[in-house]
Structure 1
């Protein structure tokens, strides 16, 4: 059976928070490496993508990969100017975004982010072959015969896109920056995670904190458990850890979640999951 591998390069939300208090779970913002056999898919381009780029450089071979962004808030794209493979002509990438149309285009957003006075160099300094692709969340992208990416719109300010990747009878869902609709859960959201082997979900806040965060587009571990149960997901992974939560605080959240849903884990920078 071909490898289906998920590796965490960044697991924090909002902004990076390096330091002694966050070294166990990690302080980089979202980036996930997905290997479907020989196919490389990257999910989000937060600060974690810088170290991922350095690891890819060590491989020395040409890269052909797809980078799917949940959305373009800074914590999910801030690593793009520091992703070294983008500056090397032997590589080829397709960069996807599903929440920008009709008001924006991905290439224009990237040009704006990497321009004065925000940044000293533009996307024209990239030497890799980068194809910027816009779509509308809800569409399905067939990457090849064995890899299918299903998408869903999320409940987040400005919009965001959730993903499910299916590969040779296995699947995982990456749903981050979503505010769980407690009174009326979104059936599209449940459907895209239905029966998935791994559900990575946005769970930065505690039940005590969420009241003051209404409308911010985020959820709690309790929401994640409710989602996982509704979708009958095999494993729930807590993700997008709040920067104000140190490692000990995440330990507590994980313990609380496991007390009611034993098949729960928490995303840890550097960890690898094989499905």
Structure 2
């Protein structure tokens, strides 16, 4: 088995929430909406299809034919608007499993991705994609097994509902928890369960506490959390590395630098999500396999 097949890496392709935010003030952290890719041994897992998925897709064109697994937390625009521009999806011979929970209105992830590409919103239908697309309805709370990988799921507190994910492989764990709003009087048990002892926790930290509780324009009920709540979760769940994610489109690079400094003061292993960031997760290679590593 090659060394690559023993690697568990997380790479960030889109880290912004709500709306793409390109410009001179978001260059260092990036302006693309959510997309996080995990290379788990020989398996490619992708979380959310924001505009970062377009950038990821361009990077993958030299690696075809491709197989992968694409997990959607939910279908708000910022998490799916990159899917119609995912170039590998248009190439025959590529194969992707696409996972999502059934929405409160009963629509499947396939229906919602299809509707996004209908007239008058888009010029060509989903059916023009030539890759093999296998859509899978999931039930939050039920695990998903991909070879020797276990992906755990749980419902999140978000308008219209959303799903959080935790990827477990060879003793390593990465939790992807966005979009979710914390509760005022307690920590969310679903979030704590997904984050438990994780090597990496990627958490919705859209606002600051001051913004969330603003007397003039509060964000309560908007479906997102704060970086201060992210720290609370990381401490309670005994997380090794906290990644502050889903940056507000109004937060420029300098503002995010300030959050980074404050977060590290409260949780030394806190880092800011930025496009291009790669995080390596240590894994325990079985002895019989480690002896054959080339």
What TM-score, normalized to structure 2?
0.91
Tell me the CA shift for residue 189 of structure 1.
1.8
1:104 correspondence with 2:110: no
Tell me the CA shift for residue 20 of structure 1.
1.0
**Structure 2 residue aligned with 1:164:** 166
**Structure 2 residue aligned with 1:210:** 212
Looking at CA atoms only, which structure, 1 or 2, has the larger radius of gyration? Answer: 2
- CA-based RMSD of the aligned residues comes to 1.1
Tell me the CA shift for residue 158 of structure 1.
0.2
Tell me the CA shift for residue 162 of structure 1.
0.4
Q: Is the 8 A contact 2:13 2:52 kept in 1?
A: yes
1:33 correspondence with 2:37: yes
C-alpha separation in 2, matches of 1:223 and 1:42: 25
1:76 correspondence with 2:84: no
**Structure 2 residue aligned with 1:45:** 49
Question: Which runs of no fewer than 5 residues in structure 1 stay unpaired?
Answer: none
3-state SS of the aligned residue for 2:193?
Answer: helix
**Structure 2 residue aligned with 1:152:** 154
**Structure 1 residue aligned with 2:201:** 199
C-alpha separation in 2, matches of 1:97 and 1:234: 28
Q: Is the 8 A contact 1:71 1:99 kept in 2?
A: no
Aligned CA distance change for structure 1 residues 259 and 99 (closer, same or farther; 3 Å): farther
Q: Is the 8 A contact 2:36 2:46 kept in 1?
A: yes
3-state SS of the aligned residue for 1:55?
Answer: helix
Where in structure 2 are the equivalents of 1:1-275 lying within 5 Å? 2-59=6-63, 61-100=64-103, 103-145=106-148, 147-211=149-213, 212-275=218-281
Q: Is the 8 A contact 2:15 2:245 kept in 1?
A: yes
3-state SS of the aligned residue for 2:166?
Answer: strand
Tell me the CA shift for residue 255 of structure 1.
1.1
C-alpha separation in 1, matches of 2:37 and 2:194: 20
3-state SS of the aligned residue for 2:25?
Answer: helix
Tell me the CA shift for residue 204 of structure 1.
1.2
Tell me the CA shift for residue 148 of structure 1.
0.7
3-state SS of the aligned residue for 1:228?
Answer: helix
3-state SS of the aligned residue for 1:22?
Answer: coil
C-alpha separation in 2, matches of 1:260 and 1:192: 21
Tell me the CA shift for residue 206 of structure 1.
1.1
Question: Which runs of no fewer than 5 residues in structure 2 stay unpaired?
Answer: 282-294
C-alpha separation in 1, matches of 2:94 and 2:208: 42
Tell me the CA shift for residue 98 of structure 1.
2.1
Tell me the CA shift for residue 102 of structure 1.
6.4
Aligned residues: 273
What TM-score, normalized to structure 1?
0.97
